[in-house]
Chain A
């Protein structure tokens, strides 16, 4: 069965420092991968997605993620974190059921809470 693991439940970084949030997935075929961000009391906003092609994906708010098939990973990165990036981040994989490679039916990781120190 497909699964997503985010090993870090909570991460604290200083403002201006670089950030990497880890995500590992378990999936038999070519995965469709996503990163969403959730600010407190808000819904989920898509940061970026990977479907195919270039393994380095650029997203909104200066985020990027790299798909590494050999490591079954899709880590999220940002070179310089801003205080407004404090939020919860979710990695997800499309379950790809019913013969479609992209159903929108997502399996989410448990999330990583990012705290930014001034």
Chain B
């Protein structure tokens, strides 16, 4: 298996622009998570899906952030408009809901908003 795939790996954009991050989970996994990593706040969960349905978006910082999962093999995290404080590494992870499942993490997307 190729693991969790994220694109792009790096994104540099100007403040006010729309940013879309993409994720392809591991085939067969029914949970998908979006995490954000910053120096100040560490790793924090933004939102997660189960069977393509958003379960908990309480970690989404504000309305500028939105996430979708149109099918089992694709998810997007969108920021519109972007701000410099959104600069971070965004990780996508997926897992299978068994008793011993654990999240597999993608390589991350490093976002820089200037």
**Of A13-21, A44-52, A67-75, the one touching chain B:** A44-52
Interface size on B, residues (CB 8 A): 25
Task: Identify which of B4, B95, B107 contacts A104 (C-beta below 8 A).
Answer: B95
Interface size on A, residues (CB 8 A): 24
Write the nearest CB–CB distance from B45 to chain A, whole angstroms. 6
- Please, how many angstroms separate the alpha-carbon atoms of A98 and B44 in the complex? 19
- A44 near B105: Cβ-Cβ < 8 Å: yes
- B31 near A111: Cβ-Cβ < 8 Å: no
A89 is an interface residue with CB less than 8 A from chain B: no
Knowing A43-B107, A44-B105, A49-B102 touch, does A104 contact B45 (C-beta < 8 A)? no
Knowing A51-B99, A51-B100, A101-B99 touch, does A106 contact B45 (C-beta < 8 A)? yes
Task: Given contacts A42-B108, A97-B56, A104-B102, list 17 more A-B pairs with CB under 8 A.
Answer: A43-B4, A43-B108, A44-B91, A44-B93, A46-B102, A46-B104, A51-B100, A98-B55, A101-B99, A102-B97, A102-B101, A103-B97, A104-B48, A104-B93, A104-B97, A105-B48, A108-B44
Binding site for A on B (CB under 8 A): 4, 31, 33, 42-45, 48, 55-56, 91, 93, 95, 97-108
